Chains A and B, each alone.
Chain A
Amino acid sequence: MHYEIVKAEYFTKKVALLLALMAAGAGAFFLRFVFGLGDATNLSDNYPWGLWIVFDLVWIALAGGAFVTAGIVYVFMAEKFHPLARPAVWMGFLSYSFVVVTLLADLGLPWHFWQLGVQRPEHSAMYEVSWCIALYVTVLALEFAPTVFERFGWEKLRDLWRSLSPIYTVVALAFFVLLMSHKVWMAIVALLVFAVIAFITRASARHSGVPVILIIAAVGFSTMHQSSLGSLFLLMPDKLSHLWWSPLISLLFFLSAVASGIALIMLMSILISYFFNRPYNWDMLADLGKVLAGALFVYYGLRIGDVIVRGNLGLAFSGPDGARFLVEIIGGGLIPLVFLSSAGLRKNKNLLTASVVLSLFGIIFNRLNVVLLGMNLPGTSPGGVVGTYYPTAVEWALVISLIAALFFFFGLGVKLLPIMPAVGEVLKVDEKLSRAA
């Protein structure tokens, strides 16, 4: 696979707009610390989590595109999607970094962040998520490193990366198991298991240029933190409507992250073609649409089955919760599933794009429902008095500026580094595949 640096203007009107939004966000971040969390936001004891947490959960679910793409390309070896691998990892790395920015603003006492490194809670989903994301960001950085080496011709560094990154990855995985299980023997087992995996798959570095243990770690860490973000809500069976709360919410969060991850990568591909005047690759997107259909089918199948089996289907037909549930399931699940299931309809650019947007909407709406709209808050003890929560300008500004920052840095990346596949390359892959078939 050959990559190229996209030749485009660094400074355009669009870039200026992004920079202005980012400046507003920087101001909001500053104001948050000047005025304190209570005054800068509309968070309260009744609504201790708000827009920023919704945003984090949404963004992490969408950034699942990085691990799904890496898994599909390097583990399942679906060569036709290879052109998406580098942009997906770059998008993931940026997304996770910016989520940390929101977290810094959202934490009341962010300067105590280091406590995560010294405390050992037994069963805290928040602890799991924190460590898992921290380690995953290092894996994303390692996944992205060859792009930088290639740009500057640092071949020695690349060789060093090839031999050392698997070792780091194995140790990181075992360390994570130690933190989660609190058992040294289990960490040793994990060390052995992952060392064996790294050894038997070592040829991968030669074949695809990426040691597959790195991708296995990316998928592993992602699976764990995506599902643990769902586990956060296991402690709220009394508050979250049972149209969303389920003992299976962890699994549902993971499966929905796979679906929304694929959808986001498809959208990303379309947007790149649009903004950088590059050729669209609708055939590849239609194929990815088929994968998305599979992911949606599994997720919504379990989602609807779970609601039925636990006897909560009746809730779907009463009140605003029920209405939102139906919009989420039908609008975000069933409609795109119908479009994507037919090979003929997938060929239709507009229907394919609409399906992608609807799939994303369904899962974004799901996270919004889980964190805020589906919550039946009892209020601070003794309860009964719960107002309504509307995010403040500071809360909105930070969120919008970070989305702008994602676009800005993504664009900057593809203009500086060999992230995008060479234009001819995509066609070459198609040709090779049709020959093999």
Chain B
Amino acid sequence: MSFAILIDTTKCIGCRSCQVACKQWNGLPGEKTQIEGRSTAFQNPVSLSAKTLTMVTYKEIEDPNAPGGLRWVFAKRQCMHCDEPACASACPVTALHKTKDGPVIYDEKKCMGCRYCVWACPFGVPTADWDSLAPRIHKCTMCFNRTTSQPQLTELNGEALSAEAQKIFTSSFNQPACVKACTTGALKFGEREALLAEARERISSSPGKYVPHIFGEKEVGGTSVLYLSSVPFEKLGFRTDLGDRPYPYYSKIALEVVSPALMGLGGLLAAVYLLKQRKAEVLSSSEPEKKE
């Protein structure tokens, strides 16, 4: 059983509650920013950083049915929590790893700060804390510390809570901060297979509303964040050229070959040496005769 987040971008109104909730839960400082203008519109800040683990993108697209022929499409962006993450396979000290529950998480106690994960991620997600003297990596953790613990609240303001109220509290706590803060139900946290089924159901029950594609179902081998969209994903600014093959595919092969190759090479070199040695012996034993 692995968890995922379904992001239905058609329901997003760009309120950025998720952005604020993320900062609150993770205790991250604000950034000094400004509206950058045409290319990034109201997107603010412009990209993820060590201080901003999730953000909403704003794209204005042409739509003949919309008033004025233009409309906004929004998408919340954060770590995709790949099933086979490039970042985790890159990491030389397992500071990043995919948990069986779904989130890809980071352990700063292990990290050496080599930043190979930043290079490797096809989505450009991990960021380093460049202002710090100890630049650690920062990325969305799908609030694994909220979703894996099960806090029990038995009383509130000195009054005992009913069993019903306790259940509501636990279930509302037990999801990522962004999902909990979402005002329109654009974000949904749940079991990945169930969310995939629900996404398919949403596409089939409202013909024409969505493009028939769930981004993240197969991309780079599948991710634990799934997207629905009313416009082709390129128009949302997504990279659609990444393919379905998990990124660690090639490096996995290259590294599995290392041990057998080392032994094979050792044998080969030993054979060459013995051959050359024999040749030299033959040569030197025949040499004195030549001298005569």
Within 8 A of B (CB), among A64-109: 71, 74-77, 106-109
Known: A77-B273, A236-B119, A384-B40. A121 touches B91 (CB 8 A): yes
B259 contacts A75, C-beta separation under 8 Å: no
* A381 contacts partner chain B, Cβ-Cβ < 8 Å: yes
Q: In this complex, what residue of B is CB-closest to A34?
A: B133
Tell me the smallest distance from the CB of B249 to a CB of chain A, in Å. 8
Instruction: Give the chain B neighbours of A177 by CB distance below 8 A.
Output: 259, 262-263
Instruction: Give the chain B neighbours of A216 by CB distance below 8 A.
Output: 266, 269-270, 273
Residue interface bits B29-65, CB-to-A below 8 A is 1, else 0: 0000000000110010011110000010100000000
Instruction: Give the chain B neighbours of A436 by CB distance below 8 A.
Output: 283, 287
A224 contacts B258, C-beta separation under 8 Å: yes
A231 contacts B251, C-beta separation under 8 Å: yes
* A312 contacts partner chain B, Cβ-Cβ < 8 Å: no
Within 8 A of B (CB), among A113-163: 113, 115-116, 119-128, 130
Q: In this complex, what residue of B is CB-closest to A375?
A: B119
Instruction: Give the chain B neighbours of A45 by CB distance below 8 A.
Output: 47, 49, 118, 124, 127-128, 130
Assembled-state Cα–Cα distance A127/B255 (Å):
10
Contact of A44 among B130, B263, B283 (CB under 8 A): B130
Instruction: Give the chain B neighbours of A294 by CB distance below 8 A.
Output: none
Query: Interface residues of B, CB < 8 Å — how many?
Result: 75
Instruction: Give the chain A neighbours of B89 by CB distance below 8 A.
Output: 121-124, 235
Assembled-state Cα–Cα distance A115/B109 (Å):
9
Known: A108-B113, A186-B259, A228-B254. A379 touches B124 (CB 8 A): yes
Chain A CB within 10 Å, residue with most, of B55, B78, B114: B114
Contact of A190 among B91, B259, B274, B277 (CB under 8 A): B259
B112 contacts A125, C-beta separation under 8 Å: no
A378 contacts B239, C-beta separation under 8 Å: yes
Contact of B47 among A38, A224, A383 (CB under 8 A): A383
A109 contacts B134, C-beta separation under 8 Å: yes
Instruction: Give the chain A neighbours of B93 by CB distance below 8 A.
Output: 112, 115-116, 119, 121, 127
A197 contacts B270, C-beta separation under 8 Å: yes
B94 contacts A119, C-beta separation under 8 Å: yes
Within 8 A of A (CB), among B218-274: 237, 239, 241-242, 247-248, 250-252, 254-256, 258-259, 261-263, 265-267, 269-270, 272-274
Within 8 A of B (CB), among A162-221: 173, 176-177, 180-181, 186, 189-190, 193-194, 197, 200-201, 203-204, 207, 212, 215-216, 219-220
Assembled-state Cα–Cα distance A159/B133 (Å):
48
Residue interface bits B99-126, CB-to-A below 8 A is 1, else 0: 0000000000111111110111011110
Residue interface bits A353-386, CB-to-B below 8 A is 1, else 0: 0000000000000000000000000111111110
Instruction: Give the chain B neighbours of A75 by CB distance below 8 A.
Output: 269, 272-273, 276
* A319 contacts partner chain B, Cβ-Cβ < 8 Å: no
Contact of A125 among B123, B239, B251, B263 (CB under 8 A): B251
Known: A125-B255, A378-B239, A385-B40. A224 touches B92 (CB 8 A): no
Chain A CB within 10 Å, residue with most, of B49, B90, B131: B90
Assembled-state Cα–Cα distance A367/B128 (Å):
24
* Size range of the chain A interface in the assembly: 35 or more
B124 contacts A220, C-beta separation under 8 Å: no
Tell me the smallest distance from the CB of B178 to a CB of chain A, in Å. 15
* B168 contacts partner chain A, Cβ-Cβ < 8 Å: no
Q: In this complex, what residue of B is CB-closest to A103?
A: B114
Within 8 A of A (CB), among B48-86: 48-49, 55, 57, 75, 77-78, 86
B247 contacts A235, C-beta separation under 8 Å: yes
Q: In this complex, what residue of B is CB-closest to A74?
A: B273
Instruction: Give the chain B neighbours of A207 by CB distance below 8 A.
Output: 277
Contact of B255 among A44, A76, A180, A200 (CB under 8 A): A180
Instruction: Give the chain B neighbours of A344 by CB distance below 8 A.
Output: none
Tell me the smallest distance from the CB of B250 to a CB of chain A, in Å. 4
* B135 contacts partner chain A, Cβ-Cβ < 8 Å: yes
B280 contacts A384, C-beta separation under 8 Å: no
Instruction: Give the chain A neighbours of B276 by CB distance below 8 A.
Output: 75-77
Instruction: Give the chain A neighbours of B148 by CB distance below 8 A.
Output: none
Known: A380-B47, A383-B47. A107 touches B112 (CB 8 A): yes
Assembled-state Cα–Cα distance A126/B115 (Å):
11
Tell me the smallest distance from the CB of A289 to a CB of chain B, in Å. 22
Between A and B, 27 residue pairs with Cβ closer than 8 Å are A36-B130, A43-B115, A44-B130, A45-B49, A45-B127, A45-B130, A48-B118, A48-B128, A109-B113, A112-B109, A122-B89, A123-B248, A124-B90, A126-B114, A177-B262, A181-B256, A186-B259, A200-B274, A227-B254, A235-B251, A238-B241, A379-B124, A380-B48, A380-B125, A381-B47, A383-B239, A385-B47
> Which 6 pairs, one residue from A and one from B, show the smallest C-beta to C-beta distance?
A108-B113, A38-B130, A126-B92, A127-B92, A109-B113, A48-B115
B binding-site residues for A, Cβ under 8 Å: 39-40, 43, 46-49, 55, 57, 75, 77-78, 86, 89-95, 109-116, 118-120, 122-125, 127-136, 237, 239, 241-242, 247-248, 250-252, 254-256, 258-259, 261-263, 265-267, 269-270, 272-274, 276-277, 280, 283, 287
19 additional A-B pairs beyond A121-B91, A176-B262, A382-B43, beta carbons within 8 Å, are A43-B115, A76-B276, A109-B112, A112-B113, A115-B95, A122-B252, A124-B90, A173-B262, A177-B262, A186-B259, A219-B265, A219-B269, A227-B254, A235-B251, A238-B239, A239-B119, A378-B124, A381-B77, A382-B237
